[in-house]
Amino acid sequence: MIADQDLLLLGEIELVAAYVVMAGLLLSIAIWNRLRWWIRAGSIVITFGFFFVTFMSVRHMLGWPTAEQLPDRFELLWAFVQEPDEATRYPGAIYVWAMKLAGEGAIEEAEVYTPGAVDTRVAVAQMPRAYRLPYDRSSHKDVHDAVINLMEGTRQIGVSTRKPKKPGEYAPQSRYSFYDRPDPILPPKGIGGRE
């Protein structure tokens, strides 16, 4: 089994391999082509230059938050709020570190604690993801309260509470509510030959 850290290293190795293959193809074309020597040499130098620039750029992008929408159901691991700043005209942002939970679609508050309504199991190979959400005052309060609960030791889940008004309509700014994580549903005792 490959560890999470090894997956990142594997991605970097794949990037290097792709550039080596491209450089090899360019080199073979340059050797057998009848172009002027300075055109062939320049194309080889430019290819290796792009290899270095891309490799360094990808290394700096790892771990940056995505602007994608949060999943409909997720476990909140941590959050950080940057309030708007009028002096610099910074609009503010809410940064959420979360892990996706199984299930799709919005869920009502009454259903959250119904057994089996929210599957709190996390896939073995799943890694946390950082999200960047636009700032608004009500989300700031909700996220702040959820972080306080996390600091007190109560795990939190987030669920989408805003549904599109009509079938097929897209809700670009979904609203999320945070709840104490429900206890997982355990299999009945005696399964697997043990009593």
Task: Give me the mean pLDDT over the 133-147 stretch.
Answer: 92
- Statement to judge: residues 33 and 81 lie in one domain: no
Same domain, 40 and 108: no
HSE-up (13 A, CA, CB side) for residue 181: 21
Tens digit of each residue's pLDDT (9 = 90 or more) over 82-118: 999 999 999 999 999 998 887 777 777 777 777 667 7
Residue 161 has pLDDT above 60, yes or no: yes
Domain of residue 133 covers: 73-180
For the cut 80, the answer to whether the pLDDT of residue 156 exceeds it is yes
Number of domains in the chain: 2
Extract the tokens encoding 30.
Answer: 């340059």
φ/ψ of residue 93, rounded to 5: -160, 155
Report the side by side order of strands in the sheet with 93-100: 129-134, 93-100, 73-82, 156-160, 176-180
pLDDT at 159 over 70: yes
Confidence of residue 166 (pLDDT cuts 50, 70, 90): low
Give the mean pLDDT of the chain. Answer: 77
Q: Of 12-21, 23-32, 115-124, 152-161, which has the strongest mean pLDDT?
A: 152-161
40 and 106 within one domain: no
Model confidence pTM above 0.75: no
pLDDT value at position 6? Answer: 46
- Residue 194 falls within a domain, yes or no? no
